[in-house]
Amino acid sequence: MIIKRLIRNPQFLTGFIFLFGLFTASLVYYWFSGDQVPRTGLLKGEDGEYLRPPYSPLEFPPLGTDNFGHDVFLLMLTGAKYTIGAALLIAFLRVVPSVLIGLAIHFYFYKMKKLFASIVDAFNYFPTTLLAFLLMQWVMMYGPLMNPETFDYSFSDKLFIYITILVGISMPSVSLLFSNEIETIMKKQFIESAKVLGALKRHFILLHIRPYLVPQIYIVFLREFISVMILISHLGVLGIFMGGFEIETDVFDNNKMLSLSHEWSGSLGAWWEFLWTTYPWIAFIPVLFFTLTVLAAKMMLLGLTKALEEAEEIPAGNEKYGNHSLNTKEKFELVNEKVK
């Protein structure tokens, strides 16, 4: 079975353990602390004088503190469930409806597919990050800054807008991808035999397309998860935080934007300016977490692809003579295997 192959695959298992462990640890921290990240007290230097945060990882292990005195490790742990959870949700909402849209395009709107493909191809030339930024900049950034008293969008409203836009901007291309995949499947030889025997569209979808399409869904889902993680990191640098932000005064008496949920893109955007200060290490911490998460997902993707290539299993239902997914030679070999 494919699950046993995935468990024995070190690449997939390593990536899965990292993502699942980080996500679970973030949930456990929420259950025990309610996502409260305490502020660290003042530390003394070697000369006995008090130091002002942010503290480096050497002064306050393991990852130091930010300019508000918050433990950076706890901030990253708190934001893990929001960052990874939102990316999983966005990837899921991109893929599942796109499968249905791809089926509808092929079976009901095939004559309009060329027009749809031309629009999607032209749309893909526009940078996705810039498009998402232009669509969200008022609600996520300019509105709260320019009209804080009259701005009536809540955290849940902004989070809904954020997820909807990130889902919508990629759904056309993913739908076209599945439509092309379905078209490739429908050109196989056994499909022609099924057509001659009078197979219906439902028969094609459930018995012929589904066994080939389901593995592709898993692969596309992991690819979209990686794409979403990269996209939200870019948006964080541009000042677009997941769910919005609040203005707080740090230890240097500067008003700074602070992510409401402490998700990683908000931390990346809030700390990006530290690259040009004496605290450059703090800006690389969310970059490190984004990089490790993307690498873990990439390992899962490589492991899944390898497992699917090695499986070479006959899809469920194809061994029945009523299903013409197997040609004559394949049926003959299957019968010989059963006799043995």
Q: Give the per-residue pLDDT at 166.
A: 96
| Residue 101 belongs to a domain | yes
Banded pLDDT at 329 (limits 50, 70, 90): very low
As a whole number, mean pLDDT of residues 220-244 equals 93
Percent of the chain with pLDDT over 70: 84
Total domains present in the chain: 1
Q: Give the per-residue pLDDT at 154.
A: 81
| Residue 131 belongs to a domain | yes
Q: Give the per-residue pLDDT at 279.
A: 85
What domain range is 165 assigned to?
A: 86-276+306-339
**When comparing pLDDT for 263 and 317, which is higher?**
263
Banded pLDDT at 319 (limits 50, 70, 90): very low
As a whole number of angstroms, the distance between CA 187 and CA 90 comes to 31
As a whole number of angstroms, the distance between CA 86 and CA 134 comes to 20
Select from 220, 219, 221, 232 the least CA-distant residue to 82: 232
Q: Give the per-residue pLDDT at 292.
A: 97
- 328 pLDDT higher than 80: no
Could you report the per-residue pLDDT of 186-195, keeping only the tens digit for each? Answer: 887 777 766 6
Could you report the per-residue pLDDT of 271-304, keeping only the tens digit for each? Answer: 888 888 888 889 999 999 999 999 999 999 999 9
| Residue 54 belongs to a domain | no
| Residue 122 belongs to a domain | yes
Element (H, E) at 246: strand 245-249
Q: Give the per-residue pLDDT at 30.
A: 93
Q: Reply yes or no: is the peptide bond before residue 211 cis, omega within 30 of 0.
A: no
As a whole number of angstroms, the distance between CA 145 and CA 152 comes to 12
Q: Please give the distance of CA 261 from its chain centroid, rounded to a whole number.
A: 17
Average of per-residue pLDDT values in the chain? 83
Banded pLDDT at 338 (limits 50, 70, 90): very low
Q: Give the per-residue pLDDT at 317.
A: 39
Which residues on adjacent β-strands are paired with residue 50? 44
Record the pTM. Answer: 0.85
| Residue 5 belongs to a domain | no
Between 125-139, 150-164, 218-232, the lowest mean confidence (pLDDT) is in: 150-164
| Residue 113 belongs to a domain | yes
| Residue 140 belongs to a domain | yes
Banded pLDDT at 54 (limits 50, 70, 90): confident
As a whole number, mean pLDDT of residues 217-246 equals 92
Could you report the per-residue pLDDT of 55-92, keeping only the tens digit for each? Answer: 888 888 899 888 888 899 999 999 999 999 999 999 99
Q: Give the per-residue pLDDT at 162.
A: 93
Query: Residues 268, 283: contact at Cβ < 8 Å?
Result: yes
| Residue 293 belongs to a domain | no
Owner of token pair 């320019």: 146
Instruction: Provide the CATH number for the domain around residue 322.
Output: 1.10.3720
- 254 pLDDT higher than 60: yes
Could you report the per-residue pLDDT of 22-44, keeping only the tens digit for each? Answer: 999 999 999 998 888 888 877 77
As a whole number, mean pLDDT of residues 330-337 equals 40
Which residues on adjacent β-strands are paired with residue 79? none
- 200 pLDDT higher than 80: no
